[in-house]
Amino acid sequence: MSSLDGKTCVVTGATSGIGEETALGLAKLGARIVLIGRDPERAKHSVERVRSESGNDRVESLLGDFASQQDIRRLAADILEACPRLDVLVNNAGIITLKRQTTEDGFEAMFGVNHLGYFTLTNLLLDRLKQSAPARIVNVASNAHRFGSLDIDDLQSEKSFGSMKSYGRSKSANILFTVELARRLEGTHVTVNCLHPGAVATRLGHNNGTLGRAVTKIISVFMLTPARGALTSIHLASSAAVEGVSGRYFAKCREQKPTSTASDPAVAARLWQASHQLTGIGA
C-alpha cells in the first residue's frame, strides 16, 4: 500500500465492522481520517480506537443519518467545511432488513440507505474530489448483487419485496452507480471502483431482532474477520496498483466480473436518471 501522508479520507459506516477497520487501515497509512457515524457515542468510541491502534492523531468524526436525504445534505456541508481537500471517499454504510421498511423520505430502506445514501453524498462531494484530484471513490457493494438484479420499474420493492432480493438489488445499484459515475468522471483523474468484501462477521443484520442476531451469530464462525473484510476497500483506496483504474468491481483485491445486468451501461444510465429524479441531486 502507498503512504497516504497528507491525504484526507472520509469513510462512512465507520462505527462498526468493515468501515471501522477500513478507517483503521487508512489511518495506519498516515491519512487524516474523517469517520462518519450516526451515533455520537459509537463515533467517539471508534475515533478513540482508530487513534490508539494506528498511533495517528488526525482522526475525527462527523455525524449523519443516511436514512434522511436532508441529513445527508447537512453532513455533506459539514464535510466540505471540515475538509478543504478530499482525496478518498469510501461509501460503506449499509443495512439489511428482514421486512420492508421505509426511510424518512419514504424510500425502501435498503435502496434509500445503501444506494441513495452513496448517490447523494458522493454527488455533493464531487467538486471537492475533483479539486483534490487524483482522488478515489470506493463503493462497498456485495456479491449479494447476484440475488437481486435491479428492477428499474420497482426500485422501492413495492411490487415485490424479499430481504435478500431487495438487499441484492441495492448492491446491484452500487455497481451500476459505479459504472455510470466512472463514465461521467472520465478525464477528471477521480476514479471510482466497487467491491465485495467477502462474507464478514460484523453487526450487519443485528438490527433484525433476536432472530437476525441469532442467525448472524451462528454463521459468523464461517466468516472473515472485519480486518480481513476491509482489505479490498483499503487496496482500492490506497494501492498504486489501481491508479487510474475506474468503473470496475473487485473482490480479494482482484478485479472480478459482476453479473451482466449489474454492469449494463444502459441500466446504469437509467438508474442514475431515476436517482436524480428521486433526490434532486446529480443532474
Ligand X SMILES: NC(=O)c1ccc[n+]([C@@H]2O[C@H](COP(=O)([O-])OP(=O)(O)OC[C@H]3O[C@@H](n4cnc5c(N)ncnc54)[C@H](OP(=O)(O)O)[C@@H]3O)[C@@H](O)[C@H]2O)c1
> Helix (H, G, I), strand (E, B), or coil: what is residue 272?
helix
Query: 3-state DSSP: the chain helix, strand, coil percent, rounded to 5?
Result: 50, 15, 35
Q: Does 4 bind ligand X (CB under 6 A)?
A: no
Q: Does 75 bind ligand X (CB under 6 A)?
A: no
Tell me the window of 34-42, 51-59, 81-89, 275-283 that interacts with ligand X (CB under 6 A).
34-42
Complex with ligand X: residue 92 or 123, whichever CB lies closer? 92
Nearest to residue 12, comparing CAs of 159, 104, 97, 138?
138
Q: Does 247 bind ligand X (CB under 6 A)?
A: no
Cβ neighbours of 76 (radius 10 Å): 20
Pick from 89, 126, 204, 278: which binds ligand X (CB under 6 A)? Answer: 204
Q: Does 217 bind ligand X (CB under 6 A)?
A: no
Q: Does 216 bind ligand X (CB under 6 A)?
A: no
CB of 35 to ligand X, least distance (A): 9
Complex with ligand X: residue 142 or 238, whichever CB lies closer? 142
Catalytic-labelled residue, pool 118, 119, 167, 249: 167
Q: Does 34 bind ligand X (CB under 6 A)?
A: no
Sheet containing strand 135-140, edge to edge, reads 59-63, 32-37, 8-12, 88-91, 135-140, 190-196, 249-251, 254-256
CB of 9 to ligand X, least distance (A): 15
Residue 255 phi/psi, 5-degree rounding, is: -65, 135
CB of 171 to ligand X, least distance (A): 6
What 3 state SS string does 47-94 have?
HHHHHHHHCCCCEEEEECCCCCHHHHHHHHHHHHHHCCCCCEEEECCC
Q: Does 264 bind ligand X (CB under 6 A)?
A: no
For this structure, is 167 an active site residue? yes
CB 94 within 8 A of CB 140: yes
Q: Does 148 bind ligand X (CB under 6 A)?
A: no
Q: Does 72 bind ligand X (CB under 6 A)?
A: no
Cα distance between residue 257 and residue 255, in whole Å: 7
Q: Which DSSP category does 239 fall into?
A: -
> Helix (H, G, I), strand (E, B), or coil: what is residue 135?
strand
Pick from 98, 199, 227, 269: which binds ligand X (CB under 6 A)? Answer: 199
> Helix (H, G, I), strand (E, B), or coil: what is residue 178?
helix
Pick from 59, 62, 121, 140: which binds ligand X (CB under 6 A)? Answer: 140
The residues carrying an active-site annotation are 167
Q: Residues interacting with ligand X, by CB under 6 A?
A: 13, 15-19, 37-39, 42, 65-67, 92-95, 113, 140, 142, 196-197, 199-200, 202-204
